[in-house]
Amino acid sequence: MSTSGGTRAIIAALLANLGIAVTKFIAFLISGSSSMLAESVHSLADSGNQVLLLIGGKKAQREADAEHPFGYGRERYVYAFVVSIILFSVGGVLSMKKGIEKIGNPHELEYPWLPIVVLVVAIGLESFSLRTAIVESNHVRGKESWVAFIRHAKQPELPVVLLEDVAALAGLVFALAGVGLTILTGDPIWDGIGTLAIGLVLLGIAAVLAREMRSLLIGESASPELERKIDEEFGRAPEIVRVIHTLTEHIGPDEILIAAKVEFAPDLTTQQIVDAINAAEVRVRAIPGIGTARIYVEPDVGPPETVEEAAAPPPSDA
């Protein structure tokens, strides 16, 4: 994985979630709180998710081969998508199921103080994990809002950890509210309602993650700003009359495919065109933040032909 910041965020979340999962499950066994059981399953699922992200990052580093000539960069997207499915099924659906069961068949909590203590400690640990993810994300987020960062980030690890930590903190707050209201009112149905709320939060976060990872798997273009810089670098060549169009696609978080169709001056020799293309490729690869670039240039001359013009039938002689 090329982004050490993402790795640090994953490891911080993994350590926090493993410790939290164990303490929550012990609290469930002693107190009988369904919110505690839902939260322990959630933390265990999150721990598995972080392991998957680390595995995906490792697999993505494999060299390109004959079967995958553009490499394995998209492995990180695949594993991040699997994380969203696990969060949806193991976290959201099971929490919803447990909450519905508890509402339908409520029972008193044993040692109600225990889940309160565990939840407060867990909130502290999750806050540390979220802070780590925020600090590392700020290194690459720039001036984007958090919503825009999650939507546009090509490195999947940081958005995944951020959303997981936000969901975890929200779930802990709902669990604390459910247990607290159960203690205050003496009605254990509030514990079930808290569990149900945890499930709804997890389902929502999982849906957002699945949507974003699906978009990355299909293939997203570079940002408009990066595409503008690419066009500028091609256009700087005196041999190039104009850039007709440029197509880009991320074939991995740190690798981009660039296909440019450019018009050259008509009086150039083949060697002059080759030299101009090579010089332009060097400038494009030097753009800050572009990562590894695979560049293919198609020379062209004459007026541009739009998609509509290319698809139109020839004019009639009549």
- Output DSSP code: residue 21: H
Q: In terms of Cα–Cα distance, which of 149, 185, 196, 146 is closest to 39?
A: 196
Mean pLDDT, the chain, integer = 83
pLDDT of 2 reads 42
Closest CA to 292 of 237, 251, 247: 251
For 182-185, the CB contacts below 8 A with 24+ separation are: 182/109, 182/112, 183/109, 183/112, 183/116
Please report, for the chain, the start and end positions of each structural domain, with discontinuous segments joined by +: 4-218, 224-311
Give the rounded percent of residues in the chain with a pLDDT score beyond 90.
15
Lookup: tokens for 80: 């991040």
CATH no. for 224-311: 3.30.70.1350
Q: Which CATH superfamily is domain 4-218 in?
A: Cation efflux protein transmembrane domain (1.20.1510.10)
The answer to whether 75 touches 59, Cβ cutoff 8 Å, is yes
Q: What is the pLDDT of residues 273-310, one digit of tens each?
A: 999 999 999 999 999 888 889 999 998 875 655 434 44
Query: Which has the higher per-residue pLDDT, 26 or 257?
Result: 257
Q: Give the helix ranges, DSSP H, for 2-59.
A: 4-31, 34-59
Q: Can you point out the beta strands (E) in the chain?
A: 240-252, 255-264, 292-300
d(CA 216, CA 76): 10
As a dihedral over the C-alpha atoms of residue 160, residue 164, residue 166, residue 168, rounded to 10 degrees, the angle is -170
pLDDT at 228: 92
Counted residue by residue, the chain has a size of 318
Is the pLDDT reported for residue 64 higher than 50? yes
Beta bridge partners of 262: 243, 299
pTM exceeds 0.75? no
**Which pLDDT value is given to residue 109?**
66
Q: Work out the end-to-end distance of the chain between its first and last CA atoms, rounded to an integer number of angstroms.
A: 64
Closest CA to 93 of 23, 148, 127, 45: 45
- What pLDDT does residue 192 have? 84
Looking at residue 297, its pLDDT comes to 93
Widest pairwise Cα distance in the chain: 92
CA-CA-CA-CA torsion for 36, 42, 45, 50, nearest 10 degrees? -120
CA distances (Å), 139 to each of 143, 144, 223, in order?
Answer: 10, 11, 18
**Helix 157-185 crosses helix 4-31 at what angle (to 10 degrees)?**
20
Give the pLDDT score at 1: 42
Q: For the residues 97-103, what does the mean pLDDT come to?
A: 80
What span, in angstroms and rounded, lies between the C-alpha atoms of 79 and 52?
6
Q: What is the pLDDT of residues 197-238, one digit of tens each?
A: 888 888 888 888 888 888 888 888 888 889 999 999 999 988
